[in-house]
Structures are given as structure tokens and as C-alpha cells.
Amino acid sequence: MCQSSGLHPYARAHAPDKRVIRKRLSGLSSSSSPRASSPSFLMALTVLFFLYYLSSTALSASIITHLPGFQGPLPFYLETGYVSVDEENGVELFYYFIESERNPSEDPLLLWLTGGPGCSAFSGLVFEIGPLKFVTAEYNGSLPNLVYHPYSWTKVANVIFLDSPVGTGFSFSRKPKGYAVGDISSSMQVYKFLRKWFVDHARFLSNSLYISGDSYAGKVVPVIAKAISEDIEADQQSSLNLKGYLIGNPVTGLKIDMNARVPYAHGVGIISDALYELIQKNCEGEDYENPVRAKCVTKLDAFHKFYSEIHAGYILDPKCTRASPKPEDMIGDRRSLEELELHSPPPHPALKCRTYAYFLSYYWANSNVTRKALHIKKGTVREWQRCNDDLGYIKDIPNNINYHLSLTSKGYRALIYSGDHDLMIPFLGTQAWISSLNFSVVDEWRSWHVGGQVAGYTTTYSNNLTFATVKGAGHTAPEYKPEECLAMLQRWISSRLL
């Protein structure tokens, strides 16, 4: 089913040889020559200690050749593993790594984070950009089935799907204190993850690196990218080949993220002209999520009534039960799957609902057969959730606009895309904050095409920033328009116009 010997063959080929490092450390430390106190000697000694430390804290990785519910061997390279990012509290981040199905040695490497905060990277893998998807069939107690997804981004890129922040997916902390993270600390843990991951995957160091994610991850992606860029600029031996970042239906933390819901809802006919004008009149300058003036509160209450009737993630879909456990959704009966007790199964949506596949993912990921196949450490995560809404997560970055400005002004490439049927984070808000950067337009607003049809609209700005809408897509875009989003990615990473 899989190989699990600590390090996979690629890692063993490229990881530092601890025996060689120990021998050199021993020789250096016993040296009595005058050069033993020279700056160059001390630098060499420091580097060797650093390499030995990294080799001693290398990730635990397993190559997965088969998965429960998938017929036959996987037609792609899959590796899973853990990387320790907080030794004091025992925090380990879990990841899925899938090599490019085209040219792993030359294709870009994407680090992918799913939003929430608290949604598993597996959600991004199986519902958005990865090479697997669930067969939507009525759940009967047996393990849900998986099939190959032909429009995976792994067609043209290597992708690390990372469960971050800790408490997401199969990432865990051995001490409760380790779960107390926020925008800043979790971003630094992701950067630490990358540095350690590359120790055992040195053959990917020369590949172009892009930090990527969607929804709430769109807020922290630029934070992580900026931390990497600062180390590159400081010449702190950062060998990461960072080229840029890409974010979909992204959160920034600005008021416009949510405030844009009102003009978007008006534009698509969800609210009337009269209500829209009253909100504009009574709520000027207000944060629509936390209004202060009484008249504004009243008008926004009327708006939220209409909003609550719509499936905000994709306004054309029926409004269905949300298939991620929340405290208020917990039910009294306990179900078991392969002897694993499940205390918080999600509500059962109708089979016609898109969320039904989310429902299936809960039972697939919580099967002991699946956990064994993925090499999940026993006793670390009692119950996998697609989105963990109970994280004690601190939103300690008010907004990330300065991070965008810093990265793009330094020449790092950025792709920002939005599904145009998303009412949660409407593209109107994304357009507004991009415009606030005051970059000049290089390529005017125009349509882009896939298969001879309009796939969306795009404009390119100075400083290597591209914005695109994906026609007919929701929150998030690849889940609704996978073929178009793969074409978008392929063109962008090839530095072509969309």
C-alpha cells in the first residue's frame, strides 16, 4: 500500500548524511589549531550544527500508492507526512504532497492553504485543485469512493497541501497551549514548515516557488511570502526560489471584503433599488459587519434577511445544510466507522446538494482504514473535520494590504482571482482594494477564453499583478469551474496573458 521508512527515496538521496556531519563536527570540535577561533571556522561550525539539527528533526514521510475507495494504484505520486514547527508544545503540521504529472523537476512548486481559518488542505485537494474527487452517491455506511480528477493543478505543478493552522485537518499539538495561534504565528509556522520540508526535498529548491490559497488563506498567503522575501533580501542563506503568490476569492481583513456584499446583491437583483439606496444613505463609512448607527443596523438587518436565504458561496445553488460539524450541529447518537467513534457527524444534506460530497469526506477521512493508509499518528486527532470552527484562532493582522503592496512593488508576481457568483467575498470588493494600490493598468479589462468560450474577465497591472474573474464560479472558483481554472493557472505560471 505504501512505503514508510521515515524518509522516502528522494529524501534519503538528498538529506544531509548525519554520519558525515557527526564526523566533521567531531573533527572540528577537537581541533586545537589557531584557526579554531577564526570567524570562518566558527561559521563553518555553525553551519554544520545547523545541518545536523535539521537532519535530526527531519519530517516523517510516507509514499502512498493506494488509497481506500480508489480503484487500483494512484496514477500520480502522493506523499504524506508531518513536520514539527513548535518543539516546545509538540506542534506538527500534516501535509499531502503531489508531484506534477508533467515535469516534476522543472514545474513550479505551489504551497496550498485552504481558508477558514481551520479548513483542511484535503478540502482543497479533493474539492478544488487536486487529482481526486468523491463519487457523489448515497452514503450507506461503506467507505465513499474516489475517482481521478482530470483538471487538477498537479497537471502542471507540484503541490504541497498543508493543514494549517494547527488544529486543522490532521495537524495537531501535544499540548493545549500549542493551539493558541493566529495570523502572525501560524504564518511563521508555515514558513518554518517550508524550510524544514526542503531539507528532505532539496531537489525542488531550484523550482519556482509560489505561495497559494483561497478564502481566509488569502489573508495569510502574502504574510508568508513576505517573510520569505525578507530573508532572501537579508541574505540569510535563504535558498527558496520564491517567485510570487496566488490567491482566490481572498479575504484581506478590510471592511470592503464584507461591505461589497451589498452592491453585489443589488447588482444581481437580490435586493431592491430602494433598500440599496437606504443602506448607502444610512451606512456611509460603517463597517457592515459591526454597524453603529441605529438606522444603519435596521437596514442591514433587512439585507441580512435576504442574504440568509441565498447560498452565499454560489448564488445559483440551492441553499443546503452545511456539511461541517459545528457545536450547535452535534447530535446525541454516536456513529462508528471501522471502530472509530464519531461524536460530531455533520448534518445529512440532500444528495442533490454540492455539500453532499463534503458530508462524504467526513466519513472517508474518519475511517481507520483511511487513517492507516495516510499514516496518521494514532491518538493525535480524535475526529477529522473538513472545517474546524472551534479553533482559538487570533486574527491579529487587521488587514494585509501593506503585504500585497510590499511584495508586488518588489517584483514578485501575483495572481488574484474571483468566482463571479460568490456573494461571500464578492469580486467587487477585491477589485476595489486592488484599485487602492494605485498601480497603473498594463492590459485593459478584457475577456479571457477557454475552448472558444468566455471563461471570465481580466486586467493586468504594473508590478506583475493580474486580476481575473472566473465566469460562473463561486467560492471558491476551481470547485465550480475546474477546467477554466487549470487553464488560468497554466497560462499564468508560464508568464502568458490569460
User: Tell me: the pLDDT tens digits for 23-72?
Assistant: 433 443 444 444 444 544 444 444 444 444 444 445 688 999 999 999 99
Output the nine-digit C-alpha cell for 402. Answer: 501593506
Note whether 177 and 389 are within 8 A (CB). Answer: no
| 208-236: average pLDDT | 94
**Cα–Cα–Cα angle for 194, 213, 348, rounded to 5 degrees:** 115
Q: Residue range 240-267: average pLDDT?
A: 96
Domain housing 169: 60-255+393-417
The pLDDT of 388-404, averaged and rounded, is 94
Instruction: Report the CATH number at residue 180.
Output: 3.40.50.1820
With contact defined as beta carbons under 8 Å apart, do 291 and 279 qualify?
no
Same domain for 280 and 401, yes or no, is: no
pLDDT at 13 over 90: no
- Amino acid 284 reads E
Looking at every residue in the chain, the average pLDDT score rounds to: 87
pLDDT of 443 > 70? The answer is: yes
d(CA 436, CA 56): 47
**pLDDT the model gives residue 234:** 87
478's enclosing H/E stretch is helix 477-480
Give the type of residue at 167: G
End-to-end CA distance of the chain: 40
475 catalytic? Reply is: yes
Q: Which residue has the higher pLDDT, 19 or 434?
A: 434
Query: Is residue 88 domain-shared with residue 222, that is, in the same domain?
Result: yes
What does DSSP assign to residue 306? H
- Which is higher by pLDDT, 165 or 36? 165
Between CA 293 and CA 47 the distance in angstroms is 60
Residue 309, class by beta-carbon neighbours within 10 Å (0-12 exposed, 13-18 middle, 19+ buried)?
Answer: exposed
Identified catalytic residue from 120, 215, 367, 418: 215
Residues 222 and 280 in one domain: no
Where would I find the H helices in 234-352? Answer: 256-259, 261-267, 273-282, 294-308
Same structural domain for residues 300 and 408?
A: no
Lowest mean pLDDT among 1-10, 179-188, 298-307, 450-459: 1-10
154 & 248 share domain: yes
With cut-offs at 50, 70 and 90, classify the pLDDT of residue 134.
very high
In contact, 353 and 320? CB cutoff 8 Å: yes
Q: What is the pLDDT of residue 165?
A: 97
Contact by Cβ (8 Å): 161, 124: yes
Q: E strands of 326-386, at which residues?
A: 335-337, 340-342
Write out the three cell numbers for 81.
507526512
Q: Is the pLDDT assigned to residue 187 strictly greater than 80?
A: yes
pLDDT score at 179 = 95
> Which H or E run includes 255?
none
Share of the chain above pLDDT 90, in %: 78
Strand 441-450 and strand 453-461: the pairing is antiparallel
Percent of the chain at pLDDT exceeding 70: 84
> Is 194:245 a contact under the CB 8 Å cutoff?
no
Residue with cell 440532500: 350
Query: Is 265:423 a contact under the CB 8 Å cutoff?
Result: yes
Q: Is residue 173 part of a domain?
A: yes
At residue 28, the pLDDT reads: 37
Confirm whether 99 is domain-assigned. yes
Considering the domain architecture, whether residues 177 and 278 belong to the same structural domain is answered as no
Beta-strand runs (E) in 339-452: 340-342, 413-419, 441-450
Indicate the length of the chain as a whole number.
498
φ/ψ (deg, to 5) at 496:
-105, 155
- pLDDT, position 50: 45
- Residue 239 binned pLDDT confidence (cut-offs 50, 70, 90): confident
pLDDT of residue 322: 64
Q: Are residues 174 and 96 in the same domain?
A: yes
Which of 133, 53, 153, 203 has the alpha carbon at shortest distance from 484?
153
Contact 82, 174 (CB under 8 A): no
Among 107, 163, 257, 422, which one carries the catalytic annotation? 422
Shared domain check, 251 and 276: no
Q: What mean pLDDT is predicted for residues 390-415?
A: 95
Q: Largest Cα–Cα distance in the chain?
A: 86
> How confident is the model at residue 342, as a pLDDT?
74
Domain count within the chain: 2
Do 239 and 283 lie in one domain? The reply is no
Q: Is 422 one of the annotated active-site residues of the chain?
A: yes
Which residues partner with 86 through β-bridges?
A: 91
* Residue 481 resides in a domain: no
Q: Is 200 a catalytic residue?
A: no
- What interhelical angle do 217-233 and 401-409 show, nearest 10? 40
Q: Which of 68-72, 98-102, 283-287, 320-324 has the lowest mean pLDDT?
A: 320-324
Nine-digit cell at 391? 479553533
Other Cβ atoms within 10 Å of 395 Cβ, number: 12
pLDDT one-digit tens code per residue, 315-347? 999 998 765 554 333 333 333 344 456 777 888
Q: In whole angstroms, what separates CA 372 from the centre of its chain? A: 24
Indicate whether 364 belongs to any domain: no
Neighbouring C-beta atoms of residue 363, cutoff 10 Å: 22
Percent helix, strand, coil in the chain, to 5, is: 35, 20, 45
**22 has a pLDDT exceeding 50:** no
Query: CB-hemisphere CA count at 13 Å for 229?
Result: 22
Residue 279, domain member (yes or no): yes
How sure is the predictor about 302, in pLDDT bands with cuts at 50, 70 and 90? very high
Residue 118 · residue 167 · CB < 8 Å: yes
State the CB neighbour count (10 A cutoff) for residue 440: 7
pLDDT at 32: 44
Angle of helix 217-233 relative to helix 183-199, nearest 10 degrees?
60
Lowest mean pLDDT among 274-288, 323-337, 385-399, 454-468: 323-337
| 149 located within any domain | yes
- The pLDDT value given to residue 346: 84
Question: 10 Å Cβ neighbour count for 141?
Answer: 8
CB burial class (10 A; 0-12, 13-18, 19+) of residue 289?
A: exposed
Residue 281 maps to a domain:
yes
| Residues 206 and 299 placed together within one structural domain of the fold | no
Residue 216 is assigned to a structural domain of this protein: yes
| 3 state SS for 204-246 | HCCCCEEEEEECCHHHHHHHHHHHHHHHHHCCCCCCCCEEEEE
Do 191 and 145 share a structural domain? yes
Give yes or no: residues 285 and 202 share one domain.
no
Q: Residue 164 and residue 266: Cα distance in Å, rounded?
A: 35
Tell me if 402 sits within 8 A of 463, measured CB to CB.
no
